[in-house]
Each structure stands twice: as C-alpha cells, then as structure tokens.
C-alpha cells in the first residue's frame, strides 16, 4: 500500500471513531478552546446553503442573536453525545436571544435528517457534505477535518469563541453568558 493510501486510511479511521487526532491518557481526543476579546474577534463568514430539511439557511438569518454554530456528522460519537446539550441551549436560552445552527457534514442529507430526528434536535442544520462552507471559517481556529467543533458568535456577527471537541451544556452556558 502506498503512503497516500495509508494516510487516507488512518484519517478515515480517526474520523470514523469521532476522533480528531491523538488521544489523551483518558481516551478522549484533545480539546481546544479559545475565547476572543471583542477587539480580536474575526467576522463569522455567512455560511449559507440548504438545510437538512431542504429549506434555505444562512448565518445571516440569525443576526442580532448570539449564535452557536456546531459542525457535526452522524457517524461521530462525540457529536451524538453533545446533541442533547446543544438542543437544550437552543430551547432554554432562546428567549434571551441565543440560537444554535448546526452544520451537517454527512454525505447524504437523509443521514443528517435521521440524526436530527433520532436526537430530537430543536435547531436547524446546514447540509455541507463537501465542507465547502466550513472551509470559509478563518484558518487556525479549529481542525476542519475533526468533529465536532463549535463557534460562539456575538450579536455583531464576530467569532467570540472556538471549541474543538465535544462540548457540554455547562461549557456552552459559560461561553454564551458573557455575550448576553
């Protein structure tokens, strides 16, 4: 087997395991979290396209709200584990101006829709199977080949926080609260 095929196989196995790279001693993928002071926040690109429900969706639909953007795939274990917490944030903080928008990277829209039904997602998700939209995210904030990852966008449309790896309700609350 040549080097390119071997590297591709290793990457595919890492992605299938829901892992973005090397593991820590506890078996978890390393987590990266960064928050940005207002003066250092970059503009969130207007990710746009068709949602898994077949209707148009775009980041600009949520302007004026604090927006949590979460990239996920149905085969990703950590994505499955965090889905309930993302839905809870979308539902319970909605009256305070917080919204969640998912970005589904599954090859088929049907797989993403099945995931949304199975996990009772209360928010909509952009279908981005070739990660064309996600590659518009400013470079260096996350590894776009590892899932899940999450951005918190302030009311002015700027990235206030970036998080690589599974995120909990408590972590989401801590990132969102200062922006309310």
Q: Is the peptide bond before 172 cis (omega within 30 degrees of 0)?
A: no
d(CA 34, CA 151): 10
Q: Is the pLDDT of residue 62 over 60?
A: yes
Give me the residue label for tokens 């990266």: 32
Distances (CA, A) of 93 to 46, 68, 152, 155, 173: 22, 11, 14, 14, 9
User: What is the model's pLDDT at position 120?
Assistant: 96
Give the confidence band of 177 by pLDDT, cuts at 50, 70, 90: very high
Q: Is the pLDDT of residue 27 over 90?
A: no
Residue 107 neighbours by CB under 8 Å, 6+ apart: 129
d(CA 11, CA 146): 9
Q: What is the pTM of this model?
A: 0.83
């Amino acid at each position: 087997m040549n080097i390119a095929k071997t590297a591709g196989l290793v990457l595919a196995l890492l992605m299938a395991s829901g892992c973005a790279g090397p593991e820590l001693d506890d078996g978890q993928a390393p987590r990266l979290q960064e928050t940005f002071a207002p003066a250092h926040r970059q503009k969130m690109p207007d990710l746009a396209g068709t949602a898994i429900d077949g209707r148009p969706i775009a980041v600009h639909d949520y302007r004026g709200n604090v927006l949590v953007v979460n990239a996920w795939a149905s085969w990703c274990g950590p994505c499955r584990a965090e889905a309930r917490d993302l839905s809870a944030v979308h539902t319970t903080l909605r009256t305070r101006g917080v919204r969640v928008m998912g970005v589904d990277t599954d090859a088929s829209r049907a797989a993403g829709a099945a995931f949304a039904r199975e996990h009772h997602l209360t928010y909509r998700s952009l279908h981005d199977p070739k990660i064309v939209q996600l590659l518009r995210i400013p470079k260096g904030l996350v590894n776009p080949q590892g899932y899940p990852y999450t951005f918190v966008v302030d009311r002015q449309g700027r990235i206030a926080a970036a998080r690589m790896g599974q995120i909990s309700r408590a972590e989401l609350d801590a990132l969102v609260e200062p922006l309310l």
